[in-house]
Amino acid sequence: MTVCAIKGIAAHNNYNVTSVFTVKHFCLDLLSNSASESRGSSMDLRRSSFYSTLDLVPQLENYASTLPHQKSRSRPSLEALRKAFDVRFSTSGNHISQQLMRCMLNIWGVILFLRLTWIISQAGILLTCLIILMSVTVTSVTALSISAIATNGRVISGGAYFMISRSLGPEIGGPIGMVFSFANALACALNTVGFAEVVRDLMEFGVVMVDSVNDLRIVGVITVTVLLFISLAGMEWESKAQILFFTVLMVSFSNYFVGTFIPASLEKQAQGIFGYHSEIFMSNLKPDWRGPENNFFQMFAIFFPSAIGILSGANISGDLKDPATAIPKGTLMAIFWTTISYIAISVTAGSCVIRDASGNISDILSGNITDGCVGQGCKLGWNFTECIESNSCIYGLANSSKVLGQVSGLSHLITAGVFAASLSSALGFLVSAPKVFQCLCRDNIYPYIGFFAKGYGKNDEPLRAYILCYIIAVAFILIGELNIIASLISNFFLCSYCLINFSCFHASITNSPGWRPSFHYYSKWTALFGAVISVVLMFLLTWWAALITFSIIFFLFGYVNYNKPKVNWGSSVQAGTYNMALSYSVSLSGVEDHVKNFRPQCLVLTGPPNQRPALVDFVGSFTKHISLMICGDIITVSRSWLVKWMNKRKVRSFYTPFSAHSLRGGARHLLQASGLGKLKPNTLVLGFKTNWRDSSSESIEDYINTIYDTFDSNYCLCILRMMDGLDIFDQFEIDDISDKCDSDQIKTVFQNDQGKKTIDVYWIADDGGLTLLVPYLLTRRKHWRSSKVRVFIVGDEQNMEEGRNEMVALLKRFRLDFNDVIVMTDSEKRPHAKNLSRFVDSVAPFRLHDEQQDGISVEDLRQSAPWKISDKEFEAFKLKSERKVRLNEIIRRNSQHAALVLVSLPVPQSDCPRALYMAWLDTLTCGLHCPAVLIRGNQQNVLTFYCQ
């Protein structure tokens, strides 16, 4: 009854159940389909490729394997595809406004309300605007670098530390993670002290708890304790508090700008507030330095902490749904709007308020008598000479920290704004520092800090790190001096900005294929400028603090570099090391030997080295740190002019001759033995053997066995088929390399074809991404830079748009700028009879027909010609053959004018006849008027959308 059911289903699906091979393959396909239906909510998520039900079309989930603390996704291995075993698969909003609001709240801090007007009185309007623009220049360049790093893969919790460490490696990432966490804790203390300063000043009628300084400390400690409880309550409460603070700030700003247009009363004029006057504006344009320590760079050092909030959103990147979109847009928009607000307040305050005023109404001038009058108020009818000369003025830009409240319509709203700005910034930094430190602790770069890595609750809140940050903040709150804390913070954050910009610069110059940020509006030179200017400003602001900061950085760097933690983040340092090693190795191969440079570079035939330790130790004693030593384990048994030929053509390649009796033996040896360290091949590239029908059986079997061995060795494979008459493999036989090979002609044709400006990629099977990476690398070259790349995928008409959108989303995650995605909805159709007949005729000479045996058994023929096709095998693989013919029809229809075509290479199953597989390869690429590449990765990811 089971057999009948199978036969009935198979007949419905056009399977021929008369063959045991067909039943075998049908059952495997049926089990695969059933398993996929039970594991996925939609068959579209596990749609099979042209080649088999196990060989699936590309899926985004298979590239998520680098996300920490999650189980790796998987795809069927090459071995599983060959043996037709089923392998289980794991299937797995945009917060720009949240990022924008968080950055703006952290940029609008206590400096805006409590120190900006004082900076205006010292530096004047022009230099104040210059200070603002200098700060914005540093932060804007850094924001561009952050955007590039943040969009080069998914950013998880850890913010700036995560970005730097994954870009430059643990040696630089670890020190900057420690410093940056500490800087955020200091920033929390800075804003808490600002809040406490306002509260202390509001204590009227002689209400004093202890004294002025201790009152500030008491209020500050109480405030940061309350903020700690809000943070411990979770991100939901923190986000609600930030929304409330943002609303209060908007109302406060509106209140201030409205107040600048309200005519000033006598009380306000006595306080130095006169509304918009050209005389006030002109007199406040230039600086008026007061005190030996006050200068331009001192003012910059005090103001700069007001611009450090650009990293606040990035520091909670793990809580953003789409950090790659939210971080660039939110950060840059926040910088723009806060810059406008800072400049607007600087100009309006400098146009409405004089530097010195007494607050006494009796100081008004009677008549036009100005003899002996000193100060800006003389031309406005006020005589503040007495307080100016005695340095007892308590009002005006230079003396009062409440100028914005005095100018505004309702001073209490400005007070509320000060509370909102200081508390929101303090809360933001109190949340950011533990998040960054938690990520650092989890990487186990430094000892004794793993205790703080533990997270609690659904949001993985770092409660222990919160307590540590709270203790540090309290310690600096006890200092009780806003200007001192501001100067220290400036150095720490400038150091962080320097490393962020250098990370972006270094990743750009290494030319690593993994550096593909989707944010393109950055430059490696602006990043380098940002790094250099940050270092310069550090020493110009506070040179001793800069020296201390760099000393700490170098100490922490030395510790990590000495211990070499076992982490591999694919950093740009690794890419740079690879570039230098590759460049030096290739350069060295072109240098002639000289007796002065002779070194004993030893290939030691040790067999397994652990069996001959004395031999290993002896040779190692005179080669260690001096020259090369290779331990050789022999298991089985020159044309120097080619090197000159490659050097003349500027080909960056090694030439490794090896004598072998067959292509298979030579390829096997070179795959196993060639290369040095990481400079070891992982991809075998072959030319297509177009004369395979005319070759001997041994030649065909040797060629296909080489392909089979490549898959068995877990190497990637690439087969290049040129246009008719220019076949690479046929002209480069292993026993016939001579001058008759016109390689210049081949190179010219291949490069000129790109003038058609189209590269078509048929990504039929999910091989790990090599099929996409190769055309991307091609388009980085000069000859292919202007080419358009189109990606063709398998789909059905009902879900065509959904499949296309999923592929577009996947390509965007990879940061691959392909021009179009096309869904092939007619892949299930039967091929045209003419094309199918041509395929049958092409394999006819390699068929073993049962009716023509004449007393000779099929088993005997199979032993004499194992690469040929029996009738049972032909019927068993009939459906697969038809799909190859159909795919060729689609390719020829869509890619008539392409410059290059790349097609996913089918994986040969272990029971597939050699000749049939060769016919498949021939069918897939026949009839094209351009070079074609059959390519297959080894099922391991070569593309990822995660940072790590």
| Angstrom distance (rounded) from CA 306 to CA 913 | 72
Pair 335, 474 in one domain: yes
Structure tokens at 145: 């670098």
Residues of the domain holding 645: 597-728
Where helices occur in 478-542 by DSSP H, the ranges are 482-509, 524-541
Pair 714, 762 in one domain: no
pLDDT at 891: 92
| Angstrom distance (rounded) from CA 99 to CA 93 | 12
Structure tokens at 637: 């048994």
pLDDT at 528: 94
Pair 637, 524 in one domain: no
In a domain, 745, yes or no: no
Structure tokens at 795: 């789909």
pLDDT at 829: 87
DSSP H/E element including 824: strand 820-824
| CATH code for position 620 | 3.40.50.720
pLDDT at 885: 92
Hunting for tokens 């409590």 — which residue is that?
Answer: 114
Structure tokens at 802: 């959904």
In a domain, 440, yes or no: yes
In a domain, 336, yes or no: yes
Pair 131, 300: CB distance under 8 Å: yes
Pair 621, 655 in one domain: yes
pLDDT at 595: 59
Pair 709, 828 in one domain: no
- CA 719, chain centre distance (Å): 31
Structure tokens at 718: 């690439």
Triad 456, 458, 464: Cα angle to 5°: 20
Pair 723, 764 in one domain: no
Burial of 16 (0-12, 13-18, 19+ CB in 10 A): middle
pLDDT averaged over 10-residue windows placed end to end, the chain, 948 residues = 37 37 38 39 56 76 59 69 48 55 77 84 92 90 86 70 78 84 85 82 62 82 88 72 84 90 87 88 88 82 78 61 73 88 92 88 73 78 84 86 86 84 81 85 86 82 88 86 73 84 85 80 90 89 85 88 76 75 75 67 65 68 71 52 57 61 74 67 80 78 83 82 53 31 42 64 88 84 83 88 88 85 88 89 79 56 69 86 91 88 88 86 88 86 73
Residue where a domain terminates, one of 677, 695, 728? 728
| CATH code for position 225 | 1.20.1740.10
> In the chain, what's the furthest Cα-to-Cα distance?
136
**Taking the alpha carbons of 237, 243, 244, 249 in that order, is the dihedral positive or negative?**
positive
Q: Which DSSP state fits 108?
A: S
Pair 105, 203 in one domain: yes
Helix, strand, coil fractions of the chain, as percent rounded to 5: 60, 5, 35
| Angstrom distance (rounded) from CA 103 to CA 142 | 14
Give the SS3 label for residue 739: coil
Hunting for tokens 């044309």 — which residue is that?
Answer: 639
Phi first, then psi, for residue 519 (nearest 5°) are: -90, 110
Triad 517, 519, 524: Cα angle to 5°: 75
Closest CA relative to residue 605, chosen from 619, 594, 621: 619
**Number of domains into which the chain is organized:** 3
Q: State how far the alpha carbon of 927 is from the alpha carbons of 25, 75, 596, 722, 888, in Å.
A: 30, 32, 58, 11, 8
Residue where a domain terminates, one of 563, 580, 614? 563
Structure tokens at 350: 């400098």
Q: State how far the alpha carbon of 437 is from the alpha carbons of 184, 501, 852, in Å.
A: 10, 21, 78
Residue where a domain terminates, one of 563, 579, 606? 563
Pair 758, 719 in one domain: no
| CATH code for position 868 | 3.40.50
Closest CA relative to residue 762, chosen from 927, 909, 894, 877: 894
Pair 721, 794 in one domain: no
> Which residues are 629's β-sheet partners?
602
Give the SS3 label for residue 854: coil
Pair 646, 653: CB distance under 8 Å: yes
Pair 780, 912 in one domain: yes
DSSP H/E element including 212: helix 212-232
In a domain, 88, yes or no: no
Pair 436, 161: CB distance under 8 Å: yes
In a domain, 545, yes or no: yes
Pair 770, 890 in one domain: yes
Closest CA relative to residue 553, chosen from 511, 643, 491: 491
Q: Which DSSP state fits 830?
A: P
- Please report, in angstroms and rounded to a whole number, the separation of the first and last CA atoms in the chain: 54
pLDDT at 126: 93
In a domain, 466, yes or no: yes
In a domain, 899, yes or no: yes
Pair 316, 439 in one domain: yes
Closest CA relative to residue 530, chosen from 503, 490, 492, 491: 503
Task: Report, in angstroms and rounded to the nearest whole number, the Rg of the chain calculated over CA atoms.
Answer: 36
| Angstrom distance (rounded) from CA 412 to CA 418 | 10
In a domain, 10, yes or no: no
DSSP H/E element including 869: strand 869-870
| Angstrom distance (rounded) from CA 884 to CA 873 | 16
